[in-house]
């Protein structure tokens, strides 16, 4: 079928384009088995704990190899192709019993390399002893390199696809949130501010027709109170849109004001521990921390069913650390496929500031959010 070994390598290269890790392993293995007239084969990859996991088996109903930790360690150190043309006779005595139990007449073990690092291996097996041709080891070594690179690229592409899916989901959710926020503001302006102003106008018109000074005085007093309440509502709405208090009061005072409102509205104990002042933050970082804290408290009030929240904010070297933990119902992180919009947005904003985000939670044991962002080191 192939004029030369080089043609076969080109063919393999084209076969792995655009496939995921399982697809790359399966297609590659099938073609290599056919080319070398092997009868069985497998592709194994090392996981983060250096345990071998099967990525592809051929035929699909073959049993996977059960390898001891020592033999797995041997495979992890395999730098070159190992060819065993007549079963176990050329294998180190230490492994002869283990390999003989696999029941093969000949075996080829091919390391899969990514930038000279072993990420797994491919095995080819024959039921009877097999005569390998000259340079088969070199060809298999090159194939192992191709497969290692193909798997690495597939892993990167898969990660990018997941990232793209997350970003698209976040964009859709952000658009929805923007629409909902606009509706909320419109509703607050109409139902609260608009109705209050309408009431004030109607009562002012009524006052124009009154003659009793004492009645007029009482009505004006009531209207003055209502006007002040309406002004408070407008300031609250404006604060949620753009926290001008950050410019006037600073981050710590603004956060404390918001937390006082949160305590009053939700009947949740909030402890906020922080340094006396923070002088090394940019305006963008102050706004980020302010928004992050608001998002954390929103999540607590909506989902956590907590009675207590503890927030710690402190500088540590060239980082500012924020940790917020509640005693609520927690989140099943293993069962959650995606973050909620707020958490996704929070993570993205922190990454833009070259910061780090970590979420720890366990069902029934509360949730802790920890972030860090780089800050200027104090001079002197």
Name the residue ranges covered by the structural domains of the chain. 5-161, 170-239, 246-374
Q: Long-range pairs for 67-72 at CB < 8 Å and ≥24 separation? A: 67/98, 68/98, 70/94, 71/95, 71/98
pLDDT in tens, the chain (380 residues): 665 778 888 887 777 666 666 777 888 888 888 888 898 888 888 777 777 788 888 887 666 556 666 666 777 677 788 887 876 566 666 655 666 666 678 888 888 887 778 888 888 888 888 888 888 888 988 888 888 888 777 766 666 666 666 667 766 766 676 677 677 777 777 777 888 888 888 888 888 888 788 878 888 888 888 888 888 778 777 666 656 667 677 888 888 888 988 888 888 999 999 988 887 788 888 888 888 888 888 888 888 889 999 999 998 888 999 999 999 998 877 655 445 556 677 777 888 888 999 988 888 889 999 999 998 654 54
Computed over every residue of the chain, the mean pLDDT equals 79
Please count the other Cβ atoms lying within 10 Å of the Cβ belonging to residue 266.
16
Tokens of 298: 């929103």
Beta carbons within 8 Å of 90's beta carbon, 6+ residues apart = 84
Identify whether the C-beta of residue 111 lies closer than 8 Å to the C-beta of residue 79.
yes
State pTM to two decimals: 0.43
Is 246-374 CATH 3.50.50.60? no
H helix runs in the chain, sequence order:
5-15, 21-35, 69-76, 93-100, 136-188, 195-208, 213-241, 245-248, 251-266, 283-299, 341-352
Tokens of 15: 């076969």
Beta carbons within 8 Å of 326's beta carbon, 6+ residues apart = 300, 304, 306, 308, 309, 310, 366, 367, 368
Is 5-161 CATH 2.40.70.10? no
């Amino acid at each position: 079928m192939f004029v030369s070994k080089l043609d076969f390598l080109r063919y393999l290269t084209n076969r792995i384009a655009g496939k995921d890790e399982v697809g790359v392993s399966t297609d590659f293995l099938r073609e290599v088995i056919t080319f070398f007239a092997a009868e069985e084969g497998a592709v194994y990859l090392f996981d983060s704990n250096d345990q071998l996991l099967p990525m592809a088996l051929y035929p699909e109903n073959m049993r996977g190899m059960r390898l001891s930790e020592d033999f797995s360690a041997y495979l992890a150190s395999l730098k070159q192709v190992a060819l065993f043309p007549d079963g176990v006779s050329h294998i180190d005595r230490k492994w002869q019993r283990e390999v003989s139990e696999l029941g093969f007449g000949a075996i080829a073990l091919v390391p899969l390399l990514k930038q000279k690092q072993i990420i797994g291996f491919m095995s080819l097996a024959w039921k009877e002893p097999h005569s390998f041709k000259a340079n088969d080891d070199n060809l298999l070594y090159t194939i192992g390199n191709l497969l290692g690179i193909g798997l690495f690229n597939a892993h990167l592409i898969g990660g990018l696809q997941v990232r793209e899916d997350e970003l698209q989901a976040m964009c859709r959710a952000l658009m929805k949130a923007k629409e909902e926020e606009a509706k909320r503001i419109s509703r607050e302006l109409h139902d609260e501010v608009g109705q209050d102003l309408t009431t004030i106008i109607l009562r002012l018109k009524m006052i124009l027709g009154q003659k009793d000074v004492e009645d007029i005085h009482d009505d004006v007093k009531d209207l003055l109170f209502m006007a002040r309440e309406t002004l408070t509502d407008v300031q609250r709405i404006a604060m949620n849109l753009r926290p001008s208090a950050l410019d006037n009061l600073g981050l710590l005072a603004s956060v404390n004001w918001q937390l006082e409102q949160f305590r009053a509205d939700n009947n949740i104990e909030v402890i906020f521990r922080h340094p006396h002042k923070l002088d090394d933050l940019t305006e963008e970082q102050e706004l980020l921390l302010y928004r992050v804290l608001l998002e954390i408290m929103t999540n607590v009030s909506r989902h956590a069913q907590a009675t207590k929240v503890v927030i710690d904010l402190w500088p540590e070297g060239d980082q500012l650390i924020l940790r917020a933990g509640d005693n609520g119902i927690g989140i099943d992180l293993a069962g959650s496929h995606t973050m909620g919009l707020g958490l996704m947005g929070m993570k993205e904003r922190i990454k833009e500031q070259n910061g780090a985000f970590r979420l720890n939670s366990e069902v029934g044991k509360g949730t802790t959010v920890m972030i860090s962002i780089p800050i200027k080191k104090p001079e002197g």
